Chains A and B, each alone.
Chain A
């Protein structure tokens, strides 16, 4: 394991002995008939596994790129990565959004070096080739005098488009492979859960200006799991919860912001009227949720009557509840203590970068926005009082994964006896048909929700290995 503060090491040393599909598949001990589901520790640490994930998940399927509301004007752009590949999303002069490899066709240099901006023309700093905001090549320096051969003149010199690019309600996704299901099919019923976030405003979702980036020395799947993990909450975050107690006792006299959990803590034993559970969908998308009485400290409370009128009481309650939505593999919309959009970027088997934003309904009042931001900073920032405890524990898990014995992890078993594929009043109310639902009280803390992560992961990797005829990346 690297030290926590070493420089980023991109990629991994060449892996000896690529994994076969059978070997990869054997890392997940999935025996539904025995009620068994175990994960082998090496899925978090083996560089060969990491290379396969990059190739067959991040660089061969749909990944989240950003929000359309980040690019409101013609010629706005933002840069991101798809797997290891730099990508730029641009809005052209006609208002259309497109995604391109952020790489000059000439020598490959990155053409948009900054995180975001507005430019009609992107000129490569190396040899001066230029592209417009629709990705079209506009000029090749010295073209007329260049004595190019005929083949060059017949090639396209435009920026390379991502083979697939799509939008669902303002969420932008792209794929480096054309061989993927439609975005609608990929997201499936998880779209209805995106709706719960987007419908909080007639104008949709936006990101509060300002972003926070941090890294941790652990595998990206530790973050994937944590978002859906109700079991850790009271044991990992007691310091945060006790600070909420301290503030409640002082009744706001010290200038602290009220918590959405001041009145009702749906994660604690004896929570009143709370219901907790998980929904698991195809393709690895999951929701971990709890519903309770809408809190008057929630930034959305100012609009509860309007939302109830529009969407009905049950759906409105969902908007106020805790909903941690993972859209596999790289984005999580976490609505709990506040509201976060986080993008997971794996850098190495034992290093992950998190790009984090406060997401918010467009047009909420200044007071609601202020409260949302304050609640966010305290909980979600790496300088706050909850996320640091998660991130340090990811590193502790990563350290623990180095052991060669007792290799099967036991953290995937809670809730297995409660999981059901049958519809229930909650799924029917939301109009969703998850592959599996778990409904329970605050102490059930389902872990079977992770199964869909690892089944999708296994299926994508084994299929990729079989198709490419080798497990070796590159």
Chain B
């Protein structure tokens, strides 16, 4: 259970981007968050992934109230999430080869021994060849880089996936492939998903339910929306 209650967050203290928003994702559920650009949905996703400290409100992760964000969150809580961002170019360290990029969370957690197994297991799943794993980010396409970022998000077997407009920069076939990888991982592990985006059709097909940003902020009571509802 991932519960965001009365979240107020922003980057300037006077003008919060997100004001009093509540959202609940049940264990194993896939929730799509729809909204126009610049409305604050990415900020909410960052708050949910413990990457941005909100100015107000509480986040409850699997029954535990979160008390610290970013480095102040215990590693156990941070690594419960796999996070994917909109721009693969910016979310990959330009100096690391794709193989090192995928292995980085394992290395940071002192689990070097598992690197070869885990990377070897994930690379074919997301569709990366050994040759691609040896390239650096500027030598691959956006789609290939996003595949590596997805593998990095899955490498620690997270219980929650936060996809912040994961597919906005990608073509239709790569989008389909990546969504399929996420879905097969969720079937196998039972992870919950919060997918942020503005592609109504994609989110409606992908997620168990979609939530419109306007409903979250306007009338907090009417949270859920049937996927078929356009």
Query: Real complex partners, A and B?
Result: no
